[in-house]
Structure 1
Amino acid sequence: MVRNNAEDGFLLNGASSPLIPASAFQSILGNNEWKAARLGPFTTGDIPTGITTKISNTKDLFHLGIINGNSTSGVRFGYFSDFKEVKADAHLVLPDLESQNAFQVRGCRGNTFQLYAREGANTYQWIPEKYLDNPFSRTPVLFPPIQDTINKYAYQVVVTGSCNIKDTSELLTIQVFDPPTALFNIDKNAGCSPLTVNITDSSLNAYERKWNINNDTIFKKYSLYNFSHTFYNNTDTVQEYFIMLVVDNASRTCRDTLIRTITVYPAIKAGFTPNSNITGCHPVNIQFINTSRDSTGDEPLYKWNFGDGATSNLKNPFHSFSNYAIDDTVFNVSLVAISQYFCSDTQKINVTVHPYIKADFTMPDPQGCSPHRVNIANISTGADDNKWYFGDGNTSTLPQPGNHVYYVNASSPPLISEIKLVVRNNEGCSDSISKPITIYPYIKAGFSVNNYTSSCQPVKVKFIDTSTVSATSLYWDFGDGASDTSHTIEHTFENFSTSSPAIYNVRLIATSQYFCADTTPYYTISVYPKIHAGFTADTSVFCSPFIVNFDRSTTFGANSFNWNFDDGEQSNSSNILINHKFNNNTSNTLIRNVKLKVTNTAYGCSDSIVRPLTVYPKPDASFTAVHNGNCQPLETQFNYNNADNVATSFIWTLGNGNTSSDKNPQTIYYNSSNKDTIFNIKVISISEDFCTDTATGSILVHPYVKANFSMPVAEGCQPFNISFTNLSEQANDY
């Protein structure tokens, strides 16, 4: 017996056999899964004895029955294979109800789902394998991705039993819904009673919202809802309240809850009373009596602010209020009572203080020299009437008397007096003040100038004091930063500008024994622009001949230039950079005093500068060669120029590898080649000032010549014939 569609899968000892034809299998009445066939009888030729015969099916499970016998002889032997059914069965366990099995469940995205298959199979394979922790486990766990957009997942399990029996379970379906998120914000989570908290709903994917405010206020909402709630604490201890939000999604499959705690501290009440009138004249003195209450029974902290910049932490402070303004001043007095939980309450009252009256005035110069103008400014406070007494017999009732002038001539002694002010207000209050004043005698400054005209700098000018006899000290201001205190003074003025005249304003300040002073008008001194001759040379010591470069960039203030090079040559070039060639054809060192004279033709001012230059004489290098012929070896004597009295040392390069420091050296030239050779000679002559000159020449030396011959024998009997062989070298004439 075999399952449908496996009839042609039989093998006999591993090969297809006509003994088990597929056509022999017929359907079984009442069973649509299996087919059966009756085969045989078989002979020992079909199935031999003494060896193992194996029947197998490559496609599916089958059952086999073997009978040895027939209807007449009976059954001598029978075999029937065991029949064990393999059945695939799978179910789900809900994530929140593990005991509940189902073929279809609903859950929230982010949850896991436990899948179960019936026990008893050999292998399990869940299809599809995606999102399962182990698709070959009997009890895999499904992990739907949180970011997945799939809302429904379906799985089946294929189980395999003995003899490779397989079965497939029904389809398990898991429907996943996006979960809601309970979210809300509060603007404060702790505070003092009464505490109003603003609640802002920001829940996500929520359909229904259930609010619970400390089990006192419970309500539902189906949309975002923002509201406020006030919490009260009338006890003497800290109270904790909660706000709970429970949200469900639209399928009511998923739920989320958020609870926030609110801490409310006990309330405090501030209070106080003054022990005197809170309105009065400057100063107003008040003792404050504290009546604050703290429900905890502890002593609060106190912060008093008296409205005038002063504060206090005392329980019952005393304070004095002053008013230095011209109008009534209202002081806002406040008390802040603070509990141990930093809860606070404030009480306020206003204290009114009338302005006080005060006589006062200013005069910047209580001492001065005649004529002395005193600028008097009334700075009294709260005055309605004013009366002035100036001390020189004059009076005034003006609020601001302005300037008052005092006169004392040069021959009179100082005037010593006082200015008095008396002030009154409409309330009958009065005040007065007196200030001393001293007026010193008159003084006049003056001077004269002798023989002054504008000219080139520096300019010397003589000044003579002509001030009044009351002057006891003098101060000359020459306008150039210099000063003096003499009665007669000669001063030198300079102009450091290179383009325009300098103007100096001279004045004299004369001072009396009372330190009264007078200043003359300015007297103007004019000094023509400064001119300066300056130049540099790139060298000051050199050997003749030499070109020296001059730079007159340090010259300023000039527009005309004259160069004298002290060698008979001059130049009027206006170039900043010029050069000149200096020669010394003597045997001695020369000093050339180079002079630059510069002129400002607009004002006729000039300046000059001289710089010495040292010009060393130059050696005159030359020589003659004395030798006999030009054949090698050639002995040669070199004679240096006897007319050169400057050179003191010599460096000879003789051209044959030899050198010499003699004035007149000797040497021998060899030429072993086969052609004329020229030897180049050079002498460098050096003076004691390290000036040099060079002379060059050459020596011609003919090739090397050697006479030589050979003969076989040197003696014999006559007639004696001899053959000679010429062995001469470098010869061309014999």
Structure 2
Amino acid sequence: SFSRNCAADAAVFQNTSVDDGVILSWSWFFDDPSSGPANSSNLPSPNHIFAEPGTYQVQLTVTDDCGDTDTLVRPVVVTDPASVSLAILPAGPVCSFQPVSFSPATSVGLGEVSDVQWNFGDGNSTTVVQPVHQYASANTFLVQLAARVAQCSKNATASLVVNPGVDVQFSSSGICSQQSVSFLNLSSQVGISHLWDFGDGQTSTALNPTHTYSNAGEYNVSLEIVSANGCVNQRSENKKIWSRPVPDFSLALPPFSCAGTPSQFTDLTPPPTDSNITSWSWAFGDVANGSSSQRNPAYVYTTSGSYSVTLTTTTNTGCSAFVNKTVTIAASPTATFTTGLACAGSPTQFTDTSTGIVARQWQIQSTTYTSLNPTHVFPAQGSFPVTLTVTGLNGCLNQRQQVVNVPVPIQPDFVTQNACATQVTTFQDASSASPSDPAVNWQWNFGSLGSAQGTAASRIFPTPQNYAVQLAVTSQSGCQYTRARTLAINTTPEARFVATPVAGAAPLTVDFTNTSSGATSYLWLFGDAGNSQSTVTSPAFTYLSLGTYPARLIAGLANGCRDTTTVHINVLVPAIDLSIDRFDLVVQPDGTRLPRVTITNRSNVPVRNPNLQLQLGSEQSVVETVVQTLQPGERLVRLMNARVGAGQTNFVCVSASTANDQVADNDRQCVSIGDPWLLLPPHPNPARDILWIQWTLTSSPFEVEVWNSTGQRVAAFTDVESTGGQRGIDVSRWAPGVYIIQLRAEGRVEQARVLIAR
């Protein structure tokens, strides 16, 4: 084969010989004697320049490795370069932003054109024989074309005038059928006319038109703009229009369209052929502005009536549509019920308070009831939903659910202490706690022995025997739990003892004599700082220090019952005070008088065997001993043995005495016989420190004065200043000597003498 067979141009020969062995040599003969030595060649694929046009018989002989040869002769027509031409179409002018179709113009036709190279003068080039090129700006561009025409190399140039055109650009918004699609002209400039072709047979000359596609599909949209210079620019794009959904829905009949219960809506929108519905938006038209994004929602209307419901459906391409329908929601009955006291293991009463009902169903735990007012037993604590479903006359349902809280039950129990007859037996609540429903009331029942309230109670059982005791515990919610037990009451001993003495100076040895009954064991607690004890039946104990000691005896039995008694032992500094509280004379049938004395031990220790001294007038005295121990605070009325005869004296005095009596102003009293008032002899006489002046006058005003031997008054007092029939005067600072005591009353004056000695 060969190429570029044009005069004065190198023709290229290509060896395509084949052999079953190996070709070792090639011999070419070009039939061009004017070329001289170049008329032949031994190269496999040589070049040769034919100087003149014409037809040449070119010969090729090949030899293989076996010595075989073969020769091929073919005519080669060499063209005259002058006989062919090359030009550029179009000559112009053209417009920018407008496709320009370029083509070589030759004398031999496009079939003889090859090896094309275009240069459009704007930096762009191509090897396409008939290219289409668009200029982005207006100018004069030098267009160059290089090609082989009839195997001859040819070049052509042209100055192409490009007038300013319009860069047509546009956009659109809206992709759904039956909805307005807006087209926006984004071209570089506005022309003198605009023509839109929407691809569905409809056009527009508006600058920025809108268009509605009736059907979904793919549409070729074009915009053609004519400029004032005559340039016509156009742009076309494919526009995809998607189907718009056609929404529809239905509402179920009662009981699925009733107030207060879920009303069931069903989407009936047919699926589009080119897309899928991916979202649903419901507006239920009530005052609550209820909405849903579910495909088939259930919505609860609180009241019956007509509602405008809107369903908007949207496809995966974004196309949407809505439909609005008026629906009717029927009136529902009202389910109401009350719950009685709920306690574990006890019947709980449920009462249906609904009205206008034709049927009902209770669901309590796993049990279903259809009765009007059922009872149900909750076996244990917990929170249990109770549901009442009622059916009205129109078939509508209504449901009410309440959670019944059954509290943790209290396990009633109690403990006792000291279950002993004739003693206080205590009872203490030991019931289990219920944090959610604590106990608030405790009722104890002791049968014939009465009842009590509170967490603790006590009772004295009179005899040892079995008694029935019951505890009823009521919780905060009102649940009541009961525990009954038989309580065995045991025999109780009786603790008694005598302490001798019970008071005295330290060291004080006290003998404790046990007089208890019914006991088998004894424990003495002496109450001292060392907590001394003894189990001897009748012990003795010595108290060494001042103080009050509770000596305690605990007498017990093997059944655990005990009795306790206590005597306080006072170890103290003795303060002796024996007083006469009353003194009078008791007239006897024979006319004599017996002295009657009331004495009181005002000491802090016992007083043993006090003496009573009876003074008959100013001469005779009698002493009697009271053989008795007076305990602190003990009072004794004593009728003395001595008799006072009629006319024997006009006054009688009595004095009580015991060792170490520390109070002297209360241990002597006197009475007069006959005369209603009398100044008694002062005592002691002689006196050193305290002088006691006594009188028997009780009601009349009086005055007492004391004069020394020089006639100077040294003391005086009146009845207003003195009570009790006597008064003590401190004479420790008076000068020794004789003093006169004078009593004035009712116009009378009585006197007595006293000696002050040192």
Tell me the TM-score normalized by structure 2.
0.26
TM-score normalised over the length of structure 1: 0.27
Structure number with greater Rg is 2
